[in-house]
Structure 1
């Protein structure tokens, strides 16, 4: 019986041939994934081999095969690890707490979360490969970009309820795609340049672009507008109170019949 007899023999749903149950096995899997990230970054997916990955991880190729049947399964597991980290980053963002902050402070918190995400070598390589070698992906597609757009649109809607759905979609799409372009450039640079671009350039870009829509002065004007109760969807003044939601007053527009919260 080998040292890895504690592994499950059931087929994994995340690219793994066997799921490690003990810490030693889990650590070995993570080491293989980080080694694969380094190899894919150095030579590209097509040129990479499982022998190179095993050597980089400091393990025998036979040990690698106990967890992964081939290179594609390693890549697929990296995809899912990255997806898990992105979802966790979104879930940990307290939208109601950050929307009341000054614009630059709000963007700073979001950008720091993104920067921390890309400190992980697997996430860095997944992002670069998605824009340079998309055909090898099995799990990640454009839906993740759309989820990011929807996530930002929700934040902007909370910050300025007067923005309609089309405005929210277009503004968020510009923010996400422009940020992704900077991130891609940053991840291809040295550590120092990468951190500078992720920490400052994206923040400056987003603050400058978003200021007219959700800036601090816009927030003050919005507060004054909401006092006279204008529907943020059709701009009608024919609104009435419609109960409370999470302690906030809800309103119903008599013209377009849509609800909104102040």
Structure 2
């Protein structure tokens, strides 16, 4: 029995050390996110990150050799979480779903992720991001365009692949431009910018989508997604 107890204790100690290490890494990554957001990636330093985390630089170097390694680890984790987010946000929709509902649901999920993790925008769109993160950004961008194309293919029946790709790029470009404005504001003003972003996307897509099942009003003339009458053709 004593041997069994010692064996269990021997196994528990590495697990406890591993758990402490994971907590320390999470602490350092959160501190790095705060520093990157406040100063930008280029101006940030390992000393500033350690100070924000409440640890010594020596402790930080036990886990990360430099600032770039911290940014890469943080970026990898955020990209993984973002991939899960866009999987939900850009899931296939029923063709009869109102355009504003489909756009609103996608925008809300992406905005929620970016406002919860503002450092994602800092790392992915900064002027001097590490090459590894730039590669991740390019891969994520390509995947997002592909998923948006899949979503639009449901809404834009009989549209050529080239047109779908172009439309997907325009939608993503509009979203990124709007996101920068959203993140630059808070409270009611931020909500107003989110509404404007949705409005821009809907008004861009509405003429392309045209009349679909479920989009005609009681008069049969149909209405666009802002409630304005659309002339029947």
TM-score, reference length from structure 2: 0.75
Aligned to 1:138: 132
Q: Which has the higher helix share?
A: 2
2:100 to 104, 108, 112: 104
Q: 1:131–1:58: structure 2 CA closer, same or farther, 3 Å change rule?
A: same
Q: 1:92–1:21: structure 2 CA closer, same or farther, 3 Å change rule?
A: farther
1:201 aligns with 2:196: yes
Q: 1:142–1:94: structure 2 CA closer, same or farther, 3 Å change rule?
A: closer
Unpaired runs of 5+ residues, structure 1, are: 8-19, 222-262
Structure 2: distance between partners of 1:69 and 1:120: 27
Q: 1:21–1:43: structure 2 CA closer, same or farther, 3 Å change rule?
A: same
Q: 1:98–1:112: structure 2 CA closer, same or farther, 3 Å change rule?
A: farther
Q: Which has the higher strand share?
A: 1
1:61 aligns with 2:57: yes
Q: 1:202–1:99: structure 2 CA closer, same or farther, 3 Å change rule?
A: farther
The alpha-carbon deviation at position 191 of structure 1 amounts to 5.4
Unpaired runs of 5+ residues, structure 2, are: 1-12, 216-233
Structure 1: distance between partners of 2:94 and 2:122: 29
Secondary structure of 1:69's counterpart equals coil
More deviation, 88-97/163-172:
88-97
The alpha-carbon deviation at position 116 of structure 1 amounts to 1.6
Q: Which has the higher contact order (CA 8 A, sep 6+)?
A: 2
2:205 to 210, 216, 219: 210
| CA deviation profile, 1:214-254 (whole Å, cap 9, x unmatched) | 25x24469xxxxxxxxxxxxxxxxxxxxxxxxxxxxxxxxx
1:92 aligns with 2:82: no
Secondary structure of 1:92's counterpart equals helix
Contact 1:76–1:137 (Cα < 8 Å) also in 2:
no
Structure 1: distance between partners of 2:143 and 2:75: 16
Structure 2: distance between partners of 1:146 and 1:25: 34
Contact 2:148–2:168 (Cα < 8 Å) also in 1:
yes
Q: Figure out how many residues of one structure are paired with residues of the other and give that number.
A: 201
The equivalences for 1:4-15 within 5 A come to 6=14
Structure 1: distance between partners of 2:129 and 2:23: 29
| CA deviation profile, 1:84-123 (whole Å, cap 9, x unmatched) | 11210122347334554211111111011101211333xx
Q: 1:132–1:196: structure 2 CA closer, same or farther, 3 Å change rule?
A: same
The equivalences for 1:247-258 within 5 A come to none
TM-score, reference length from structure 1: 0.68
Structure 1: distance between partners of 2:207 and 2:148: 16
Q: 1:90–1:126: structure 2 CA closer, same or farther, 3 Å change rule?
A: closer
Secondary structure of 1:202's counterpart equals helix
Question: How well do the aligned residues superpose, as a CA RMSD in angstroms?
Answer: 2.6
Q: 1:120–1:81: structure 2 CA closer, same or farther, 3 Å change rule?
A: farther
